[in-house]
Amino acid sequence: MTTLKQAAHDVAIAVTKVVFKLVPDRIPLTLMGAGSSTELCASIAQLGIGKVLIVTDAMLVKLGLVARITADLDKHGVRWCIYDGVEPDPTYDQVEAGLSMLRRERCDAVLAIGGGSPMDAAKVISAAATNNKPLRKLAGLFKVRKTPLPLFAIPTTAGTGSEVTVAAVVSDPVTHAKQFVIDPKLLPVIAALDPLLMVGLPQSVTAATGMDALTHAVESYIALTSSPLTESYATAAIKLIFANLPRACSDGSDIEARKAMAVASYYAGIAFTRTSVGYVHAIAHTFGAHYRTPHGLANAIVLPHVLEFSAGPARQRLAQMARMIGIEAAGDEAMARGFIAAVRDLMERIGIPPALEALKPTDIAGIAKQALAEANMNYPVPRYMSQAECEALIGRMLVQRV
């Protein structure tokens, strides 16, 4: 680590702190509980929306979840059309296709149904519909000049918290590099947290998305931009996840556990959209770009390693999180170790592997370089990471072959 790089990192963190003070405290009107998605459809009609573009993925259409929503829209006289071309890590091409359908069908609002990928695509589609500029020109901070079309959100996973965040991620279809559109105008008008739509999620998806929410809460809590407001939301999310994620994984029909996880994801989303994230996300994004690793799974595998790296300056914060979940030990150092051990234990209980099967030793240097390019000038992390440190950390996620 050079003094110059450390100095640049410190300046970037100072700028980040200023930027995040500009993020408003506004959150969408949020409907919660079983059947809240039906209430949202009624609200869309009450607002005088004539026709909505539903942005989702093909699997949710196949499973019949989207049909349940369209039936409610029909009941309230709201016309609709479906764009189901969103895939994990949506690309500009996919967003452009959805935008073309919106214009062709003359829709006057957008309804996102699904996980983080449909949410991201829907945010950019609604913004692009009113801002006369190429999609790539929306990438960056505060580039959405005009108010987007009304956006509504129904998450079907408890993980991303995208229904309350001011960011969307879109990938280049050729390089797979991720670009971020960040603007408070991306917030939905109304969101519905309906646990009934999450009952059919496979255990593996429940586990990975739940760990995604935990990562959001933890990285927000240890961020140098944290505040009493974000800490309160992150605390609530951490407690809910440790108490309810194993329940939701072992019994997918446990409505109370599903509701608790939806609320936890929502709280974590409120927290990290006001603090940003850290090295876990930077490395996980790069795993996604290289190997198409699902984002929640990538976050889960990376999380304990980054917490170990950050344990020096973040020791007190880790100890505080340990107390949140009932760990008792002598001193902050032991408490911090206890929290990291609890994260690993949670991963094992819900079936998250400790290493990334796809990771190749020959890719590590490039992955580290790409991750640090994202993190070191953007994220308010408690400890700066060098190229050599990042390579060593990623190397610990290799599957041990016999």
Q: Where are the domains of the chain?
A: 29-198, 201-395
Q: Which of 9-13, 31-35, 275-279 has the lowest mean pLDDT?
A: 9-13
Tell me the CATH class for 29-198: alpha beta
Question: Residue 176: pLDDT above 80?
Answer: no
Give residue 89's pLDDT band: very low, low, confident or very high (50, 70, 90): confident
Question: Residue 142: pLDDT above 80?
Answer: yes
Taking residues 358-384, what's their average pLDDT?
A: 95
Q: What is the CATH number of domain 201-395?
A: 1.20.1090.10
Taking residues 199-222, what's their average pLDDT?
A: 96
Give residue 20's pLDDT band: very low, low, confident or very high (50, 70, 90): low
User: For residue 110, which of 135, 147, 138, 137 has the smallest C-alpha distance?
Assistant: 147
Contacts of 275 (CB under 8 A, 6+ apart): 20, 219, 220, 223, 225, 226, 227, 230, 380
Strand 151-155, strand 190-193: pairing = parallel
Question: Residue 5: pLDDT above 90?
Answer: no
Give residue 402's pLDDT band: very low, low, confident or very high (50, 70, 90): low
Instruction: Give this prediction's pTM.
Output: 0.93
Name the burial class of residue 290, with classes exposed (0-12), middle (13-18) and buried (19+) by CB atoms within 10 angstroms of its CB.
middle
Query: 196-234 as b/e, with b when 16 or more CB fall inside 10 Å?
Result: bbbeebeeebbbbbbbbbbbbbbbbbbbbbbeeebbebb
Same fold: 29-198 with 201-395: no
Question: Residue 100: pLDDT above 90?
Answer: yes
Give residue 178's pLDDT band: very low, low, confident or very high (50, 70, 90): confident
- Average pLDDT of the chain is 94
Give residue 1's pLDDT band: very low, low, confident or very high (50, 70, 90): very low
